Chains A and B, each alone.
Chain A
Amino acid sequence: MPVVLSGMDTQEPRAVASFGDEPKSALLDALYDDYAGYVAAIGLRLLGRDSEIDDLVQDVFLDAVRGLSQLRDLDATRAWLATLTVRTARRRLRRNRLRRFVGGSDDYDYSTLVDTSASPEERLLLTRCYEVLETLPANQRLAWTLRHVEGEALAVVASRCECSLASAKRYVQRAQARLQEVLGND
């Protein structure tokens, strides 16, 4: 029976602060135990593809190991990992976009993201929404997803995207305009 987690309802896990002097591998294990599900949940929302989540989680925790020295406040571990997840997702989105640009096949059925309880209209809306997001620049897509799917405040969006608040607003607005343009006419 799988443990079901989502980015929104994951609670702050047990304190990793107790690993202050532990070797990196021990700290990584603790981080992984506590936050792997959280990272996977955000990753799924950002990328929209379950098949890429395993790789994303691996990349995030490998980056986390290399960047552990940058982590000054263990209480901020969750936010730090979220930022790493957004950064890693951005890389993957850009890589996917480049692959499509050079002619690689990248068809994906986003309807698998929607559960069975959704109405046909809702299923269509969510599927079309992710299809349009697929066409947007990575920053716009990430900012919009964090704002409207994860429900984060704009300041948090800016922090996660490692950009200014103004840029975060601009990304969200542009993505929203594009979605409105495409889906508003559907």
Chain B
Amino acid sequence: MTDLSQKFANAKQHLRPVEWSPERSDAVRRNIGRRRQRFTMSTVALGSAAVAVAVAVAIVWFAQRSEPNDVAIAPRQIELRDGTRAAPLGSATSLKLLSEDESLVTFGLEAGKGWFEVTPSRTRRVEVLVRDVRVQVLGTEFVVEVKDEFVHVWVHRGKVSVASTSGTVVLSKGEHGTFAADAEEEKESASIETDAGVAKAVAAVDAGMEAEGAKVREREGEADAGAQTIESLPAEVSLNTSETVETLWKRADTARRRGDAETARRALAELLNEHEEDPRAALAAFSLGRVLLDSGHSAKTAARAFAKARKLSPEGPLVEDALLREIEAWHHDGDSRRVKSRSKKYMRLFPKGRYRKQIREMGER
């Protein structure tokens, strides 16, 4: 122990003790009580302020949520137990859950636009009925809109199979399809522009005379058969330009359903002839090709109809199927040169296409 420590140890005995009188103690006790009270009050005040702020924020949030934006009547989202959801987009949308059981869920979209997110299931199918179009879901997210006489389908994720009056098309992620809704209402055709070449081609098909009367002018190396024209139109062919697209669609569909391929073929040919500028013309050309093939008409003419479908909508959802069908038609026709050139074109356009194997096998036969 140092000298300083020793000195301090001796000196510290002279440090005064605290004078803690009862009066002093009581005074401090009262102060503690007051400070506790102030602390409690400030805590309550702070808590109340926090609650008030939270309530205000919640009110503003709910108010904003409930404010109509572009939706006059905010329809509610439909959510199924498996997580499948459907929601109307826009005030004019009429979306309903028509039926739900263990194997099938059916939504009905009567008007407007609907968003769907479907949980994949092996045991249960989900369908959306839009007038005459049936969108069958394979586990995906997509939007369906019925506008005027068309049904539009946008696929954001997965795949959907769309069955319409003109057949079934599978749409994949990022694809958009437009289908005839087969609506009851009719509209006057706004403008009709006829392409003489196409008119002749369709008329030739219609008259069943292409084998003996038509001459095909082809450009060597041009893969797009839609660019081809058929000359020597028979004089007796007449085109009724007064009918609207809707009327023709309806007639073709009705005829096809009752197995009247001839009437269906005429209606589609007329539609294609009279309304080539219409967005449905590509679908009409594709349907015409199928009708021609199914009814045993010239495979060559069917191939040209499929080619026309591609030409009318080169970026549309039908292109891949139309090209496959065209190849099949040329294959039936025995035109190996065109089979080869169209197959090459398919491989180039769809390097990961669904029909690569099928087309390759076709070329080998």
Contacts and interface: CB of A to CB of B under 8 A. Distances in A.
Interface stretch (B25-33, B164-172, B193-201): B25-33
B4 A115 contact: no
A32 B11 contact: no
B8 A148 contact: yes
A122 B29 contact: no
A3 interface: yes
B28 A58 contact: yes
A54 B32 contact: no
A118 interface: yes
A171 B19 CA distance: 30
A47 B28 CA distance: 18
Nearest to A50: B18
Contact of B28 (A36, A44, A45, A122): A36
Contact of A149 (B15, B18, B32): B15
Contacts of B21: 1-3
Interface string A127-171: 001000000000000000000110000000000000000000000
Nearest to B21: A2
B8 A61 contact: no
B10 interface: yes
B17 interface: yes
Given A4-B19, A148-B5, A32 B32 contact: yes
| Size class of the A contact interface (CB-based, 8 Å) | 35 or more
A3 B31 contact: no
Interface in B27-66: 27-29, 31-32, 35-36, 39
A62 B16 contact: no
Contacts of A79: none
A82 B35 CA distance: 21
B365 interface: no
A50 B28 CA distance: 13
Interface in B154-185: none
A133 to B, nearest CB: 11
Interface residues of B, number: 29
B143 to A, nearest CB: 57
A41 B17 contact: yes
A17 interface: no
Contact of B17 (A4, A29, A61, A121): A4
Given A32-B29, A58-B31, A58-B32, A125 B17 contact: no
B14 A115 contact: yes
A57 B31 CA distance: 10
Contacts, number: 98
A96 interface: no
Contacts of B9: 148
Nearest to B20: A37
B22 interface: yes
B14 A6 contact: no
A67 interface: no
A114 interface: yes
Contacts of A2: 19-21, 24
Contacts of A113: 15-16
B9 to A, nearest CB: 8
A37 B22 CA distance: 10
A114 B16 contact: yes
Nearest to A9: B17
Nearest to A44: B18
Contact of B10 (A40, A122, A123, A180): A122
B242 interface: no
A2 B220 CA distance: 123
A180 B4 contact: yes
Contact of B14 (A28, A114, A148): A114
B15 A45 contact: yes
A179 interface: yes
B217 interface: no
17 contacts: A36-B28, A44-B18, A50-B18, A50-B19, A54-B24, A58-B28, A62-B32, A62-B35, A62-B39, A114-B16, A115-B15, A118-B14, A126-B8, A126-B11, A148-B8, A148-B12, A184-B2
Given A2-B24, A41-B20, 5 more contacts: A36-B20, A40-B18, A44-B16, A114-B16, A149-B15
